[in-house]
Structure 1
Amino acid sequence: MPRNPWFETVAEARRRAKRKLPGSVYGALVAGSERGRTIDDNTAAFAELGFAPRVVGHHAQRDLSTTVLGVPTALPVVISPTGVQAVDPDGEVAVARAAASRGVVMGLSSFASRPVEEVAEAQPDLFFQLYWSGTREAMVQRMDRARAAGAKALIVTLDWSFSHGRDWGSPAIPEKLDLRTMLRFAPDVLPRPGWLWRYARSGRLPDLTVPNLRAPGGEAPTFFGAYGEWMQTPPPTWDDVKWLREEWGGPFLLKGVTRVDDARRAVDAGVSALSVSNHGGNNLDTTPATIRLLPSVAEAVGDQIEVLLDGGVRRGGDVAKALALGARAVLIGRAYLWGLAANGQTGVENVLDILRGGLDSAVLGLGHSSVHELTPEDLVIPPGFPLTLGGGDVPGARPAPVA
């Protein structure tokens, strides 16, 4: 009897993705940098928080909608930009269609495998993500192209360093797919015939180029070509962030903040929003979980700009906890990629439905009629749970211990 394509949890989506994907592809989706302490803490920290439910006075109808950077969304969940979504032949376009069908905003990586114009056609509520990479002229060209395609906000990602070593080994990513490369990867790919069959039906091979970094009149660079450009670009200053914000001229989200002092500098630079993020555990390992750092950042700047959270969200209850601690919305990455690998567009829709159901249950059980009513009083917060990096005088938070 065929397996039910629908799954009930993100954990099941992950299990199915592992069964379907070649080992190297799956490894790229799950591994964090170095020992993986941060990626583990991102998820474990949510489990340390408890709920304080009410027994009477529940609301028959709950409003889960909000806005992010002025864009209405049916759910306080944003598709986080992730690069080269080779887990499925339709990649970012399948994700865009799923996001549109569920009424949520999508972030598109500048390292994506599908062009921004094609993705924006599938989901007009699109935020374009940019790295500080290449010349200023090249970055302006990329922003102009995204704006022309209809992108409604810019996400600037600064929470990715050069820390890439993994204790269990980094997945092998080829420069390009030629005959020699396919023969080399055959032992990894052939045991997953279903993955191969999906690509065979699509009539295309996994695309390892990044079309959104193509210069006018030129060819799209490979992933490693784009990565090399980023590594060779001198890191940005706060003046550079301000310049990017002015050049974009619209809603602007800075991704990668963990410290209170950085959050305040971001406000001074004129950003519209920030995401408390450690790049899903792929930046500096042993950085604390973002949910531990969210309260101090939200307390410091949440009355001036929108604060989002990125990292470790696997359940609708996790979304509720983040909102209760001051987040406007959360960004998800691995969760929807596992859904994409498990069942394409339908799998991403499945993941979004799981998060919606869990969030709705939390809002119901806590006695609220809207996600905007969630507060810290809805949670059981262990002593010492909130951490403050980079100063601040947030009540209940403590400085992070020195390692």
Structure 2
Amino acid sequence: MNKLKIENPWKQNPWFESVAVAQERARKRLPKPVYGALVAGSERGQTIEENQRAYADLRLAPHVAGHQVDRTMNTRVLGQDIALPVIISPTGVQAVHPDGEVAVARAAAARGTIMGLSNFASKSVEEVCAVNDQTFFQMYWTGDRDVMIQRMERAHAAGAKALIATLDWSFSIGRDWGSPEIPEKVDLKTMLRFAPRVATKVRWMKQFAQAGVVPDLTAPNLAPPGGSAPTFFGAYYEWMTTPPPSWDDVAWMGKEWKALSGRPFLLKGVTRVDDARRAVDAGVDGLSVSNHGGNNLDGTPATIRCLKSVTDAVGDQVDVVLDGGIRRGSDVVKALALGAKAVMIGRAYLWGLAANGQAGVENVLDVLKGGIDSALLGLGKSDISQLTPEDLIVPDGFHLTLGR
């Protein structure tokens, strides 16, 4: 009797229809500590949950007729024309796939959008800019001013089109469910110690073996000229020993970058109106309304609740983008209706990268694009620029104005 052979459906059809499915595939593929580092917010995880839940409180107000045959999503952010109002948010060391940020950058380029690259990335700014000429380089406030200028010069020389500053990083590791262990470096001793936790993740291990590499936990963009890249904990030590920046420091960073490159400067992490106004006074060209995906200070409100107050206050002076909790195309549309020029995604593309490499990231972007298009159709819009708050049903008390 012939035995029935059951094929793995993922092998036959690696495409996925939602970000939720990408997340589930990432969970099954990745070692538990790696997956845990992607999904867990700080402390009780309140902010990461709020970021997503708030979108469900907003409703859409569709039309029954008069729908548009042709619909476009083209927009312009900080001088860059993009085909999709979804930008790759910079995230740190990407050990979910051997190609890491290079695969993400290629996917973003294939879909005509911006790649955000962290200075804690596992791939160099030179490698990433070589495959996506719309790369924005992100810096933390770490090291002295000479070191920061050297990093700006390197990013500019590589071709970065803008600088993103993240100043309020706190790397909160106090998680109620326990924080995943992050090794100092991946050597033979570490691999042996982690072997029981990764032995069942054969496909993940095979990817790295075929690439001839091990998961890289160093930060090449923080390497001094002629020196070696620090480990993640070496970068963390540099941050701990750097005094926090003032608003004068923000102005200095933007001024130095613009004098060097003539290119835009974006401040990430704004939720308060008073901070937004001070940022404009300091000379920024763009703001990201962000709470860093719930990885920073827990208990901060969902960014979509803070968005309208910020766009009302400064949206006519600088480009405002939204970061936090985007999982669907309709989420993107809700943010655009409240004044954002585009949104930034983080966990969503990392799950796509874990699930299927570059093609998985492209898949995530396609899922979001399809959802945006469906919402535009239902709302009777031919262009994302036509979206307004009147396209939404907003419950009383939804919008928050912090820092009046």
TM-score by length of 1: 0.96
Matching of residue 140 in structure 1 with residue 149 in structure 2: yes
Query: Which residue of 307, 311, 316 maps to 2:329?
Result: 316
C-alpha distance in 2 between matches for 1:145 and 1:278: 28
1:388-399 paired onto structure 2 within 5 Å = 388-391=401-404
AA partner of residue 97 (structure 1): R
Which ranges of structure 2 fall in alignment gaps of 5 or more residues?
1-6
Q: SS of 2:81's equivalent?
A: strand
Query: Partner residue of 1:203?
Result: 212
For 1:272 and 1:25, locate their aligned partners in 2 and report how far apart those are by CA, in whole Å: 35
Q: Does 1:223 align with 2:232?
A: yes
Q: Tell me, yes or no, if the aligned pair for 1:134 and 1:233 is still in contact at 8 Å.
A: yes
Which residue is 1:394 aligned to? none
Mapped to 2, the partners of 1:76 and 1:172 lie a distance apart of: 35
Partner Cα separation in structure 1 for residue 200 and residue 402 of structure 2: 46
1:78-227 correspondence runs (5 A)? 78-227=87-236
Residue equivalent to 2:393: 380
Provide the residue aligned with 1:47 in structure 2. 56
Aligned: 1:278 with 2:291: yes
AA aligned opposite 1:276: V
Give the superposition deviation at 1:162.
4.7
Q: Which amino acid aligns with 2:207?
A: R
Which residue identity lines up with residue 305 of structure 1 in the other structure? V
The residue type equivalent to 2:333 in the other structure is A
In the alignment, the residues of structure 1 paired with residue 365 and residue 359 of structure 2 have an alpha-carbon distance, to the nearest angstrom, of 10
Contact 2:217/2:232 (8 A) holds in 1: yes
Match of 2:360 in 1: 347
| Secondary structure, aligned partner of 1:187 | helix
* 8 Å Cα contact 2:222/2:230 also seen in 1: yes
How many angstroms apart in 1 are the aligned matches of 2:170 and 2:215? 26
Residue pair 1:267, 1:305 contacting (<8 A) in 2 also: yes
- Which residue is 2:249 aligned to? 240
Alpha-carbon distance in 1 for matches of 2:229, 2:207: 24
Q: Which amino acid aligns with 1:26?
A: Y
2:8 to 2, 5, 8: 2
Q: TM-score, normalised on structure 2?
A: 0.96
- Which amino acid letter does the alignment assign opposite residue 92 of structure 1? E
Structure 1 unaligned runs (5+)?
Answer: 392-403
Q: Hey, what does 1:260 align to over in structure 2?
A: 273
Contact 1:159–1:278 (8 Å) recurs in 2: no
User: CA contact under 8 A between 2:102 and 2:128: conserved in structure 1?
Assistant: yes
Q: Percent identity?
A: 70
1:296 aligned partner: 309
Instruction: Quote the offset at 1:190 in angstroms.
Output: 0.5
Encode CA deviations 1:307-337: one digit per residue, 9 max, x unaligned.
1100000000000000001101000000000
Decide whether aligned partners of structure 1 residues 146 and 83 sit closer, same or farther in structure 2, where only a CA change above 3 A counts: same
User: Is it true that 1:358 corresponds to 2:335 in the alignment?
Assistant: no
Q: Which residue type is aligned with residue 50 of structure 2? A: D
